[in-house]
Amino acid sequence: MANVLLGVTGSVAAIYTPELYRELRNAGHAVQLVATKSSLYFFDAAAIEATPVGSRNKEIVILDDDEWPNAHYQRGDPVLHIDLRRWADVLLIAPCDANTLAKLALGITDNCLTCVYRAWDATRPVILAPAMNTLMWEHPATARHLAQITADLRGSLRIAPPISKTLACDDIGVGAMAERPAILNVVAGLLQVK
């Protein structure tokens, strides 16, 4: 089994975070979660129950404020996004909203999750489970961003593609996050290849 770093972004699909977290744990994985500020609109971090894993991290749910907890950095202070990168075998971002997808493609590092991604070893697996409105998914920028990330990761990227259904906004079309069993299958498939 693997150390899975679960990144959660500001998509309505973040409501499934507690269930995805639990299912990853039930599959035998150690899981830590990095939540963007906007993701917390859709799920309650207190709904994640578990024992912390990792050597330096006291929390299972890592928030942006955890990145730099002291008033001033002092040499020797832990750098959380580096510690998380070192701990994780797999980076899974589910859901990956359009905003975060663009940040990953452009190298923007304005939160803990995007810092982890930017510091990630491009030979190690990254799984993205995009989730956004259909027109956002079909926007030309989304295809450009996915192509850039694919090129950057040189074969270590896996996509759990979005599915078609009635979305939270009542539009019907592709854009809903892949079902949790499909995401778990992508994780399992990566681990069999190792």
pLDDT at residue 57, as a whole number: 41
What is the reported pLDDT for 73? 76
Q: Which residues pair with 124 in a beta bridge?
A: none
- pTM score: 0.92
- The CB density around residue 104, as the number of other CB atoms within 10 Å, is 26
Sort 9 into a burial class: Cβ within 10 Å, 0-12 / 13-18 / 19+.
buried
- Cβ(19)–Cβ(27) below 8 Å: no
> Judging by beta carbons within 10 Å of its beta carbon (0-12, 13-18, 19+), is residue 143 exposed, middle or buried?
exposed
> Which stretches of the chain score pLDDT less than 70?
49-59, 193-194
Both structure tokens of 95: 């859901």
User: Which structural domain, as residue segments, surrounds residue 131?
Assistant: 3-193
CA-based nearest residue to 114, from 96, 129, 132 = 96
Of 96, 112, 115, 169, which one is the catalytic site residue? 169
169 is catalytic: yes
pLDDT of residue 58: 44
Q: What is the pLDDT at residue 192? A: 75
Query: What CATH number does the domain containing 145 carry?
Result: 3.40.50.1950
Domain count along the chain: 1
Half-sphere exposure of 185 (CA within 13 A, CB side): 8
Per-residue pLDDT tens digits for 100-116: 999 999 999 999 999 99
pLDDT of 46: 85
What is the per-residue pLDDT across 8-43, written as a single tens digit (0 to 9) for each? 999 999 999 999 999 999 999 999 999 999 999 999
DSSP letter, residue 98: H
